[in-house]
Each structure stands twice: as structure tokens, then as C-alpha cells.
Structure 1
């Protein structure tokens, strides 16, 4: 029997394959103001960050001021892209069908974005009533607050829960909250998670077995 009683999933990069899409749009927008970012660099510096943090980083890279509607423009363009191109992470649908433990999702993104992408990828039915957004509480990863809120609402202590994350800030937040965290590294091209999570894995087909083997 697994040591875990509940699983808390991150959304972007763990449930839905959105990182390249969203960070590509962010880079393209920032480049209009002189940032000179490629997609690889954008993923490295923005992955797992709140929009506020992303904008602060962009301000240090641009050669002309970004407009007040920068975030609104990004949100609009990203929704358009998600509707055309978003896909579930390979293997995650099978994981959710087979997972016998209670589970939920805790994301740095707004709940409407989370809900849209989960719906577009056919995953929303697994998470209705169990969506936890940093925007709701006004605290973002690496602050552990969203994980603590999710665990408490689900009825479990941090040590009873497993967090599944793909970003350094998400892993940091989970560890700070007293959670074990499995780092999903399939798209960790810069090895930012190496040696940091409780355990690393690169194929969603491994997850159920890893959870069941945890003692």
C-alpha cells in the first residue's frame, strides 16, 4: 500500500502541454519591446513563474517600456492558441483513469485558464470541485500556500500528500510546505529539477507504479 493518501497535480506541464505555447507567446510579445528572447530561453526563465514575476523579468530585458495592457494581450493570445493547439500531457488521461487515490489540481494560473485547458483536453471531469488556483488566495509558488490549501480542503496533512510538479518554483513550494514531490522531467530540457524533488520521472506511464511503490 502506498504511503500517500492524496495526489496534488500541477496543471501546466503536468496535466496539459501548455508550456511551449504560453512561453512562446510571452517571448514573442516581449520581443516587440526589445527583449530578444527565443523559446528555449523563455521556458527556462518563465516556467513556473507567476505572471507578475514574468513581467518583472521582462522589464529587465526590454529596450522600451511594455504597455499597461501587456498581460491582457498575452491572456487573449494564449486563449486563442490554447483553443487551437492545447493537448494533454502524454499518458496523463490513463493515469487519472487508473489512480485510486483522491486527487486535485493546484496551479499558479487563474482558475478560468485552468478550467479552459482541462476542458479542451478532456480532463476537466476528473477535477470538478477540486481546482485550486493561486489567484484565489493571492499567493504564488514557490509560496506553499496553494498546496497547503489544497491538502486541507481535500482533508489531508501535507505528509499524507504527494505533489506532482514540473517547475523549480513548484517543487520548491511543495518541499517548503512539507510535501513529498515527484518532479516530472520529460520537458525539463535545462535540468532545473535535477537532484531536487523527492523523486524524478520522465514518463507519465511510470507514475501509478511509483506511487504504489512509495513506502
Structure 2
């Protein structure tokens, strides 16, 4: 008799704010550059308005706030400045190293970040070997989050059934993408209030990565009881 298919096929992590503590750094650089153009914004406002957005989406939002186009080279300069700071300062989110060592499911990373930025942050935090060939960025798809393209690409790459995949996300934008892909979504409330993640549709929320292995086991057991 053949063995039954596993209850879960794949866990897919967002990168920034889930595995890597980078968003506070990039938001700081972005706010500094907006300040140089005469727009002063707080860190709290940055988190509210730009959290989970791609660089291009952030530029469009900044132009709305400014009421005029940003300089033509703004996005390029922002990329250069933020990547330089990330290479020096970026760290793993608390508990990530131990969590990754504890989970047994196949895993991947899917992010709205550009490939050049992701390679820098994954390398700087030591995750590049861990996720070699298993990380996906906005350059890989026609549409970034909240579209489901990134998560569906990860599932196709590993022949994983979307309904048997779990997404770990920390923003409403990413949660929308995971739900649109037909996956179970766990919200990570390190920098985002848990209620905001639940309101966005996350089925589960945690605030400590130490709990994730046990939660994945529980989700797997629950999924095993459901019809195939």
C-alpha cells in the first residue's frame, strides 16, 4: 500500500519583516529621502502607508502625498542607498534561526522585493544557502502581491498543491496574496497589530517565531482531516 500524501506540501515565507528585519531600515531611508524633498513623515506613518508595498508602489504613493512627481532618478537612488544600509545593518527577525532549524516541511521565500535587494539581505543574514534556488521575487512574476502570482509560482516550482501550502506573512498586502492563491495564511505580528492581520484574513496569528513549528504541525493535522 502506498503512503498517504503529506497533509502539507510547502511553507512559504514572506521575506521582509518575517525572516529578515529589513523594513524598518528601508522605511528609514525612504523617509530620509522624502524629507530631503520637503515631506516629513513619521516612522509610524511610513509603516501604515508603505508597509508591504513594492518599491514602485511606494514611489507612486509618495508622489500622491507630495502632490508632484518624484525626481526621475529617485527610485534608483533609493535602491542604491537602501541596499548599502541593508548590507551593513540587516539582521534576522528574532527566533528565525531556531525556527528554521526546527521545521521539517519543505520551505521557500516569496517577496515583493527586487532580486538585487533580496540577494543582498539573504546573503547578509546567512539565509542564501538555506534557500538556494527556493526564493522568488517581484522580478519573477507579472504582478506582485496582493496578486497571488508569487505564491502560485512557488507552489508550481515544487509541485505543491496550493490548498496544501501555508504562507507566513506580516502585512495585509501579503495576506491578500496568500488567500488569493488558495493557501492557509499565518500572520506574524512582530511589527503589525494582530487585529490588523486577522482583519485582513489571516487564519492564525502569532507574535513569536518559536511557536511556528508547533502551529504548522497543528495546521497539518487539521488539514489531514479534511477531504482531499
Query: Normalized against structure 2, the TM-score is what?
Result: 0.89
Structure 1: distance between partners of 2:203 and 2:189 = 13
Determine the structure 2 residue equivalent to 1:131: 135
Equivalent pairs, count:
215
Determine the structure 1 residue equivalent to 2:13: 9
By how many angstroms is 1:63 displaced? 5.5
1:187 corresponds to 2:196: no
Q: Which contiguous aligned blocks of 4+ residues in structure 1 show a shift greater than 4 angstroms? A: none
Residues 140 and 146, structure 1, Cα contact 8 Å, conserved in 2: yes
CA offset digits 1:106-139 (Å, max 9, x no partner): 0101122112101111111110011111222231
CA offset digits 1:10-31 (Å, max 9, x no partner): 0000110001001111111112
Determine the structure 1 residue equivalent to 2:32: 28
Determine the structure 2 residue equivalent to 1:70: 74
Residues 142 and 149, structure 2, Cα contact 8 Å, conserved in 1: no
By how many angstroms is 1:64 displaced? 5.3
1:1-215 to 2 correspondence within 5 Å? 3-62=7-66, 65-189=69-193, 191-195=195-199, 196-214=201-219, 215=222
CA offset digits 1:78-109 (Å, max 9, x no partner): 11111221000111111111211111000101
Residues 134 and 140, structure 1, Cα contact 8 Å, conserved in 2: yes
Structure 2: distance between partners of 1:191 and 1:35 = 30
SS in structure 1 opposite 2:66?
coil
Structure 1: distance between partners of 2:194 and 2:101 = 31
Which ranges in structure 1 are unaligned for 5 or more consecutive residues? none
Which ranges in structure 2 are unaligned for 5 or more consecutive residues? 223-228
Aligned Cα RMSD in Å?
1.7
Structure 1: distance between partners of 2:82 and 2:156 = 32
Relative distance call for 1:70 and 1:94 in structure 2 (3 A) is same
Query: Normalized against structure 1, the TM-score is what?
Result: 0.95
Structure 1: distance between partners of 2:44 and 2:167 = 26
